[in-house]
A and B are shown apart, each in its own frame.
Chain A
Amino acid sequence: MKISGAEILIESLKKEGVEVMFGYPGGVVIPIFHHIFDAPFRFILTRHEQGAVHAADGYARASGKVGVALTTSGPGATNAITGIATAHMDSVPLVVITGQVSTSMIGNDAFQEADTTGITRPITKHNYLVQDVNDLARIVKEAFYIASTGRPGPVVIDIPVDVSKGEAKFAYPDEVSLRSYKPVYKGHPVQIEKACRLIESSKRPVIYAGGGVISSNASDDLVAFVRKTGIPITTTLMGLGAYPETDRLSLKMLGMHGTFYANRAVHDSDLLIAVGARFDDRVTGNVNEFIPEAKVIHVDIDPASVSKSVQVDIPIVGDCKSVLHEMTKIVKPPQIQEWVEKILKIKEENPLTYGTAGTKIKPQMVIERIYELTKGAAIITTEVGQNQMWAAQFYQFTEPRSFISSGGLGTMGFGFPAAIGAQLARPDRRVIDIAGDGSIQMNIQELIVAVQHRLPIIIAILNNGFLGMVRQWQQLFWDKRYSHSCISFAPDFVKLAEAYGAAGIRIESRDEVDKAIKKALSIKDRPTILDFHVDREENVYPIIPAGKSVKEMITRELV
């Protein structure tokens, strides 16, 4: 029996076990929406396609499953671009389905036509333009496979309307065979052996773990490896939660706004063990001064990440989980007591701090109180800028998939729609978006979606009336010329929340902070905006200026 392309798509998504999908309808996808109406999975109608893709992304990061989004052609697809690029930079598995004009019209500048495969080529792991309805089921199968295996990433399937309406027999392939794509999971035993010998002979080793540990579900293996070797560990922004930050060997985050002790330890190390991290410029600063004396072991599933910016001595291409497991089996603990003591002393003497003088609410204080009052059990999403860095610094992440943030692309407006996806993936957990007054306005339209689906997301706006990170750079590096970074001409966020049917609380003094957070935590049937009016010119410290090294780290306000 033949069925339509739209039905084949729905059947294929069912076979993939899709539970929730995000999207927005439009002309050429009406045939698909016609059948989504009766689909057994949940469909979340966002209010903008960018929101749909970020929500699918948040869902994927919180659950470990593939996130799925559906948009129409032309503007639907171009609105999705920022979401796709965000997922691509952070290696998040997504399948984004876009409608396309009829195959006979492609290239004709038809109404709502855009060259979606052309536009998305550099920001996807792979993409497809379906030209024949008979190929559709196979392509969906391949798309899910490619998105979720190897180094994960977004895959776009562009479906012309005549393919959706065309008919074919439905046969979903059992497996995928791509001669040109065979990701390597098991690390080479000789390399693993060599790495372990190097670890055993090292005097000053440090582990540097990234998002790869989280996407390969290797946190337990990482913990076991640290337990056995006793090596101090720092994580990237993307790796937060891969290792419990409350542990004594945790050096918390490294890089531009990382802790002094993490950056010092990495700089002074004689061996850096990079696991699922990619030596991003926000981590290395000046590459030449990053690790002057260290040898490097690099475990990564993507061979192209190895020796891209930093020369690696022992590359191990493979899945973090499998490689850490193998290494833990054979490695003998190195003799590094003296080094560990030294680093832990630096850690004790240089904690992350902030000035508490005055009466104004400090943004860092808000994060600390949220941490305390949620007992560290919330899923934190962030926007981008100061709010993101303070969240990373002052919330103690102890579990993987509890910190969701746009690390690579740095997309403002990501955190809130991502929180919607995360809350749908994890109804058992409280999801809190740490936002700035700038970022939250970039996708505020999705508030109605959280209200509609009664999602108890808390949006904690650290409201300083500035695009804070831009203002901070202008203050520190651009003669305090605050060109267009002041946004104090702002909406009333409490009224805005109420207009949408959400709860809203304005907090203007320190003694109201706890009460407001507790109140928000008690509201379980709708989102709450907490509008914290914080010290306007608070800065994120420490900071290593771009392209500099730990030696030039600014640790506190220069008066």
Chain B
Amino acid sequence: MMHVISVKVENRFGVLARVAGLFSARGYNIDSLTVSQTEHSDISVMTIVLTGDDRIIEQVKKQLNKLIDVIKVTDLTGHASVQRELALVKVNASPAKRTEVFQIAEIFKAQIVDISLKTIALEVTGDPERIDSFIELLRPYSIKEMIRTGRVSMARD
């Protein structure tokens, strides 16, 4: 099962290596990882998405908690949370196809960030499922390049 774990850490050099090293040393696979600043300049938040059975996830959380620089570990899975991701997608679109791509962009409130004779680059944000469908709809136009940021998450109150 997929889990989204939010990890509050001391904003110091080497912390990312400690967290990443923990995953590689114990053979846990990360689906995505983002490191972001927070409202406190001395604290960063890592949002880690990983897949594993309950026992592995439990171990991951305990091992993360064991790191001296980790302040708090929250498993957002199963809790009400806001999840957002940003993607940049560059598709092939000749002038004749542009309108179709613009229409899809409009439905998803995507921004046109670059345009050339043969391609259009779009920026879209939303929850990960929304990004998935956006990409699916663009696929017939042949995607030249695509980058996703990985998600950031916040628990709802």
Contact = CB atoms under 8 A, between A and B. Distances in A.
A303 interface: yes
Contacts of A178: 68
B65 A304 contact: yes
B62 A121 contact: no
A307 B68 contact: no
A179 interface: yes
A265 B63 CA distance: 32
A146 interface: yes
Interface string B66-106: 10111100000000000000000000000000000000000
B68 A303 contact: no
A126 B62 contact: no
Contacts of A308: 59
B88 to A, nearest CB: 32
B63 A117 contact: no
B66 to A, nearest CB: 5
A304 B66 contact: yes
A118 B24 CA distance: 14
Nearest to A306: B62
Contacts of B9: 180
A180 B55 contact: no
A122 interface: yes
B10 A304 contact: no
A303 B62 contact: yes
A21 to B, nearest CB: 24
Contact of A304 (B14, B17, B63, B68): B63
Contacts of B63: 304
Contacts of B62: 303-304, 306
A538 interface: no
A125 interface: yes
Nearest to A307: B58
B117 interface: no
Contacts of A489: none
B58 A125 contact: no
B68 A126 contact: yes
Most buried by A among B18, B65, B66: B66
Nearest to B10: A180
B1 interface: no
B59 A181 contact: no
Interface in A151-190: 178-181
Contacts of B55: 307
Contact of A121 (B17, B58, B65, B66): B17
Interface residues of B, number: 18
B123 to A, nearest CB: 35
A180 B71 contact: yes
A181 B68 contact: yes
B25 interface: yes
Given A121-B17, A122-B21, A308-B59, A180 B66 contact: no
B59 A304 contact: yes
Interface string A335-363: 00000000000000000000000000000
A302 interface: yes
Contacts of A303: 62, 65-66
Interface in B31-62: 55, 58-59, 62
Interface string B1-35: 00000000110001001100100010000000000
A550 interface: no
Contacts of A459: none
Nearest to A117: B14
A129 interface: yes
A307 B59 CA distance: 8
Contacts of A129: 14
Contacts of B70: 180
Nearest to B55: A307
Contacts of A302: 66
A243 B108 CA distance: 69
Interface string A108-125: 000000000110011001
Contacts of A122: 21, 25
Contacts of B69: 180
B76 to A, nearest CB: 20
Contacts of B18: 121
A179 B65 CA distance: 12
16 contacts: A117-B14, A121-B14, A121-B17, A122-B21, A125-B68, A180-B9, A180-B10, A180-B68, A180-B70, A180-B71, A303-B62, A304-B63, A304-B65, A304-B66, A306-B62, A307-B55
Given A178-B68, A304-B65, 5 more contacts: A118-B17, A122-B25, A126-B68, A180-B9, A180-B68
Interface of B: 9-10, 14, 17-18, 21, 25, 55, 58-59, 62-63, 65-66, 68-71
In the complex, the 8 A-B pairs of residues with the closest C-beta atoms, listed nearest first? A304-B62, A126-B68, A180-B71, A122-B25, A181-B68, A303-B62, A304-B66, A121-B21
